[in-house]
Structure 1
């Protein structure tokens, strides 16, 4: 390349993550990926569907967040137990990652078809501290960052 030409700056593409699996470790790591991408100024969309939707449910009892009802972690431990292990070992907790995603403007979507497939009633209460957009696959595909890499978890 001639010295007078400078290379074009690489374009920063976004990240779109479809969270389908309901295992705690999978949903937790999707939040790791989303928060890391957002921290590097990439637009991010998280599309919760299937059993992963439980992570967005409003607590039924005080102190029992919806993600406590996710499927067990890969090591067989309950989600809350695994989260405590992470905290004790310097790994970001579920709530820390979710809060980081919210603070950094990650778009969080809940699949309306997925809610029905779980047998949840229309208008089921989702977490008030997480701005959630409802919609389906078409909405997700239209609103995900253009040119984004898409991961299916």
Structure 2
């Protein structure tokens, strides 16, 4: 029996939501689940080629000081584990973010693509 796909809908551009989306994504991928992070609106900040604002957040250094992996560690780990990263086309337009500002491995698609990819799997919203 295969495990269900985990779809994470990231709506928030804040550090805490982005961090926990990556915590969930990397943990699920590490145990063999297919994972999709679908970022929309302000959540698209996580998928920028340079997520400097998230990495400069004071919470990032506080996590590191406490021995907790932050976004700077988890984002490359998510990529290494095969987490699928999708930026919402409408969310990009809503926030004025250009496709060229995204990391090269990020897909741009709509919510229908996300829903079809998750299928009957599990979905969480952050």
TM-score with structure 2 setting the length? 0.90
Deviation at 1:124, TM superposition (A): 2.9
Instruction: Structure 1 unaligned segments of length 5 or more: list them.
Output: 1-9, 60-65, 71-77
1:117 to 86, 94, 108: 94
Q: Is the 8 A contact 1:54 1:67 kept in 2?
A: no
2-structure distance, mates of 1:67, 1:56: 11
2:29 to 29, 38, 55: 38
Structure 1 residue ranges (4+ consecutive) displaced by more than 3 angstroms after TM superposition: none
Instruction: Structure 2 unaligned segments of length 5 or more: list them.
Output: none
1:140 matches 2:117? no
1:19 is matched with 10
TM-score with structure 1 setting the length? 0.75
State the secondary structure of the residue aligned to 1:124.
helix
Deviations 1:44-88 (A, max 9, x none): 0000101111122233xxxxxx251x5xxxxxxx95311011011
Aligned length: 126
1:101 to 78, 83, 106: 78
